[in-house]
Structure 1
Amino acid sequence: MRLDKFLVDCGVGSRSQVKTFLKKKQVTVNGQVETSPKTQIDEDKDQIAYLGQELTHETFVYYLLNKPQGVISATEDSRHKTVLDLLDETARHKQVFPVGRLDIDTHGLLLLTNNGDLAHAMLSPKKHVDKIYQAKVAGIMDEEDILAFEKGIKLKDHTCQPAKLEIVSVDRNASTSLVQITIAEGKFHQVKRMVAACGKEVADLQRLKMGPLSLPNDLELGDWRRLTQEELDALTIFGIPLA
């Protein structure tokens, strides 16, 4: 692998920035200063350091994003800002993509990675990966709705798998409900359509969990961070190599 590609992959900077760092003699290979971006290195054996800090090559990267409303779950779009626009240069260089989608007006947890096998496993209908949403609903949801969700909501084009509806709170004066909904599917507008089938309307929708991943309380809307080692360990339940 070329040295400049390795440095970009490690998130040191863009290709042009990396060339500058090399010229400034800020990079070493096996303890020796290296200034040529074309230098061939073995990413598994050679010790590469930037400003004295040893770097580790990453094949796969994992980003946890608190997606805001008004941003679409895509890698590019001519009209709207995408979730990729919110991430760093490394994410774009690594060609990450969202694992599943959140509607443009839905906010909350979104995982982005370049690990296609993991994404496939997490989205596979055979895996039944639970997704938990919190919804503010116009209308009073009740025990009848809970039973309907448990039975499987019938939509015009699809009968949903049994789902869990938990009523967190009800404001009868305002005729609104706050609920949590757990589904193992990910059909188009599914949560909104399920609530609509009960005669109510979702006014705000937030995803709180997807499989073993939860939305951190301290992650502000529009902010992201890399997965922690604990979160990566939790993803090993899918039996997919993560490194």
Structure 2
Amino acid sequence: MKATMRLEKLLAHAGHGTRSEIKRRIKGGAVIVNDRPVKDGAMQVDPVKDHIVIDGEVVRYREFIYLMLNKPQGVISATEDVRERTVQDLLDDHYRLFDPFPVGRLDKDTEGLLLLTNDGKLAHNLLSPRKHVPKTYYAEVHGTVSAEDGQAFAKGVTLDDGYVTMPAALNILKAGDPVLGEVSKIELTIMEGKFHQVKRMFQSVGKRVVYLKRITMGPLLLDEHLAPGEYRELTGGELEQLRSAHTPGPEDAR
């Protein structure tokens, strides 16, 4: 965190309104810094050392935010795009002021758990292949998913570009019959996040994913009360679990 920052930015990050609202309140004399009224939102303040009050309320600053989003279909995992609606477009103005970004990505037609934060260190730890953070997906698959598919995934399958996946765990909830118009319902836990990986893994065994939803990332479980497009801040317990979420690999012993 920088030692100092603009007063109006600090107040916005602390949840006291949008930039335009804060500018009006500062000009109106609602803000006091170290017992002195200020009317310049561009002044540099120290979030830790300076005593800042707005409308009689002491300002409590925080640097990072952590949001659990149930990403809906039709929205891309990006911060901005000139043509498509992004996950950041789903957020209130207050949260967008923190410039959060998605940790990893979900395809446009994939739903489910997506973490949004501005904490780059946490994002790196969760996405690094060396950390081995598992991710579980629920999928509906055209074709009868079998125990043989599970055995193949457990060994690692070769994707269309020649990449061999790390071992993955398949849980068959229902083995559908395509003749009867039934889809197979499964859960698949993978330890990496290659482009379209779950879909390509099933393609490698002759099946096609028709619906995909991420339900876990490490210890973080998608809140069943969040409808697609809804989000909430992580609890303190969820955040602590997430910060320690990795399985030591060979690199960790070096």
Q: Give distance in 2, aligned partners of 1:50 and 1:137.
A: 55
Q: Which residue of 1 aligns with 2:229?
A: 222
Q: Which residue of 1 aligns with 2:193?
A: 186
86-95 or 111-120, larger mean C-alpha shift: 86-95
149-158 or 84-93, larger mean C-alpha shift: 84-93
Q: Which residue of 1 aligns with 2:251?
A: none
129-138 or 230-239, larger mean C-alpha shift: 230-239
Out of 160, 169, 183, the position equivalent to 1:164 is 169
Q: Which residue of 1 aligns with 2:48?
A: 44
Distance change (3 Å), C-alpha of 1:52 and 1:221: farther
Q: Is the 8 A contact 2:112 2:213 kept in 1?
A: yes
Q: Give distance in 1, aligned partners of 2:245 and 2:34.
A: 36
Q: Give distance in 2, aligned partners of 1:144 and 1:94.
A: 47
Q: CA deviation at 1:33?
A: 5.1
* 2:197 pairs with 1:196: no
Out of 84, 91, 104, the position equivalent to 1:80 is 84
Q: CA deviation at 1:53?
A: 3.6
Q: CA deviation at 1:229?
A: 0.9
* 2:94 pairs with 1:90: yes
Q: Give distance in 2, aligned partners of 1:77 and 1:65.
A: 19
Q: Is the 8 A contact 2:133 2:245 kept in 1?
A: no
RMSD: 2.0
Listed as ranges, the gaps of 5+ residues in structure 1 are none
Q: CA deviation at 1:2?
A: 3.0
Q: CA deviation at 1:232?
A: 1.3
187-196 or 22-31, larger mean C-alpha shift: 22-31
Q: Which residue of 2 aligns with 1:129?
A: 133
Distance change (3 Å), C-alpha of 1:113 and 1:161: same
Q: CA deviation at 1:68?
A: 0.5
Q: Is the 8 A contact 2:146 2:175 kept in 1?
A: no
Identity across the alignment (%)? 49
Q: Is the 8 A contact 1:28 1:50 kept in 2?
A: yes
Out of 97, 117, 137, the position equivalent to 1:113 is 117
Q: CA deviation at 1:5?
A: 1.9
Q: CA deviation at 1:29?
A: 3.6
Out of 171, 175, 182, the position equivalent to 2:182 is 175
> Normalising by structure 2, what TM-score?
0.86
Q: Deviations over 1:102-147 (max 9, x none)?
A: 0000010101111112111111111111000000111111111111
Distance change (3 Å), C-alpha of 1:127 and 1:224: same
Q: Deviations over 1:6-41 (max 9, x none)?
A: 101213222211012224444344566544424443
Q: Is the 8 A contact 1:11 1:89 kept in 2?
A: no
Q: Is the 8 A contact 1:23 1:35 kept in 2?
A: yes
Q: Which residue of 1 aligns with 2:249?
A: none
Q: Is the 8 A contact 1:136 1:177 kept in 2?
A: yes
Q: CA deviation at 1:43?
A: 1.1
Q: Is the 8 A contact 1:118 1:238 kept in 2?
A: no
Pairing of 1:224-239 with structure 2 (within 5 A): 224-237=231-244
Q: Give distance in 2, aligned partners of 1:238 and 1:129.
A: 7
Q: CA deviation at 1:52?
A: 3.9
Q: Which residue of 2 aligns with 1:18?
A: 22
* 2:14 pairs with 1:7: no
Aligned residue pairs: how many? 239
